[in-house]
């Protein structure tokens, strides 16, 4: 009888292991990515995506997050943000609604805060980006004018209850985590100080001839120049603390046509973009771009239907398809990816 129980127990273990292995490779689409990954359709659309905040086709706002070890690193959500309806733009846990109000929220517990409202001379359709950085929510319009309001925590700290927005800078093409790209293709890192209850921004030149500035999760940023070369900018907080030199060219990778996102550190890859031939490429370059000498790796990704791609965290990549449906690429065993390392490349390229 004991022998029979052992056989049944052994069969149960084998069946459980088989199920878990099969769950990694469920469909033929997964094999297009990597045999060590899962690939599933989410229950939402994504008109816009930013670090887990999702704006769907109907103007509703959602939040997704990558879970920790306790839940097998699986994606949690999407959870709807109840009061965020008729949204037009989103940032990381912030949104601009069609009535011109700007909101932020906490996820645990779910609490929403109105932070500001656009003035009468600034239409919602004039705004091209909202972006939160430290104590500020930046609002960028289609004329290159950058405005700001304080974050909810900063408002509480200052005892500020004003909903007005304040002009900060002109000639801005894009804004990121401590970096700004102007309309002349120049990138600066910036510092904001408060003097006499007025914010002053100081610009520090980094490089010119820049086509694209990309800021992603964990305050990581990259620049793409007009020749297709990629440069690492490092975490702005490390720049201020350690006086690091900028920028750092990422060598031994293909010339790139565009970048989608960056997230560093990551155990899948640190950035995604298209090379000059239109191939989708994942880049991996270590803890910080400053440490990447002879450590750049890349891999061509076989994904056919995509409009935008985001690196949510160290294990999840969000793929927004051309019809705005969303797929989650979950890396079960990311260290097994077949990356091309510098040792296998012609160093003269």
pLDDT value at residue 126: 97
> What distance in Å separates the CA atoms of residue 32 and residue 35, rounded to the nearest whole number?
8
Structure tokens at 156: 């509480």
Summarize pLDDT for 19-38 with one digit per residue, the tens: 222 222 222 233 344 445 57
Q: Give the C-alpha distances (Å, rounded to integers) separating 16 from 20, 21, 68.
A: 6, 9, 22
Please tell me the predicted confidence (pLDDT) of residue 27. Answer: 26
Give the residue ranges of the chain where pLDDT is below 70: 1-37, 67-72, 217-219, 235-245, 264-268, 286-296, 331-349
How far apart CA 284 and CA 104 sit, in angstroms, is 32
Give the integer Cα–Cα distance in Å for 19 and 10. 14
* Residues in CB range of 222: below 8 A, 6 or more apart: 213, 214, 230, 231, 232, 233, 250, 259, 262, 271, 289
C-alpha–C-alpha distance, residues 52 and 201, integer Å: 29
The whole-number pLDDT of residue 314 equals: 72
Domain ranges in the chain are: 43-170, 209-349
């Amino acid at each position: 009888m004991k022998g029979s129980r052992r056989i049944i127990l052994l069969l149960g273990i084998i069946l459980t292991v088989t199920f878990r292995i099969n769950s990694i490779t469920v469909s033929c689409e997964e094999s297009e990515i990597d045999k060590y990954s899962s690939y599933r359709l989410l229950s939402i659309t994504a008109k816009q995506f930013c670090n887990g905040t999702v704006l769907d086709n109907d103007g509703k706002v959602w939040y997704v997050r990558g879970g920790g070890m306790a839940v097998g690193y699986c994606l949690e959500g999407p959870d709807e943000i109840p009061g965020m309806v008729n949204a037009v733009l989103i940032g990381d846990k912030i949104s601009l609604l069609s009535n011109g109000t700007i909101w932020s929220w906490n996820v645990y517990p779910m609490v929403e805060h109105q932070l500001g409202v656009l003035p009468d001379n600034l239409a919602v359709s004039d705004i091209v980006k909202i972006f939160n950085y430290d104590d500020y929510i930046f609002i960028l319009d289609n004329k290159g004018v950058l405005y700001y309001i304080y974050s909810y925590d900063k408002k509480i700290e200052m005892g500020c209850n004003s909903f007005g927005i304040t002009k900060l800078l002109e000639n801005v093409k894009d804004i990121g985590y401590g970096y700004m790209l102007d309309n002349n293709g120049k990138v600066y890192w910036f510092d904001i100080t408060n003097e006499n209850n007025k914010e002053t921004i100081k610009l520090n030149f980094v490089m010119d001839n820049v086509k694209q500035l990309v800021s992603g999760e964990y305050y990581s940023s990259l620049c793409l120049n007009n020749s297709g070369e990629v440069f690492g900018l490092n975490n702005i907080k490390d720049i201020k603390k350690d006086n690091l030199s900028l920028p750092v060219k990422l060598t031994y990778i293909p010339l790139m046509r565009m970048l989608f996102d960056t997230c560093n550190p990551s155990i899948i890859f640190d950035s995604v973009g298209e090379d000059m031939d239109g191939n989708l490429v994942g880049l991996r370059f270590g803890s910080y771009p400053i440490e990447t000498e002879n450590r750049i790796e890349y891999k061509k990704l076989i994904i056919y239907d995509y409009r935008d791609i985001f690196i949510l965290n160290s294990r999840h990549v969000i793929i927004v398809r051309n019809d705005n449906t969303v797929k989650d690429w979950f890396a079960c065993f990311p260290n097994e990816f077949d990356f091309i390392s510098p040792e296998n490349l012609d160093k003269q390229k």
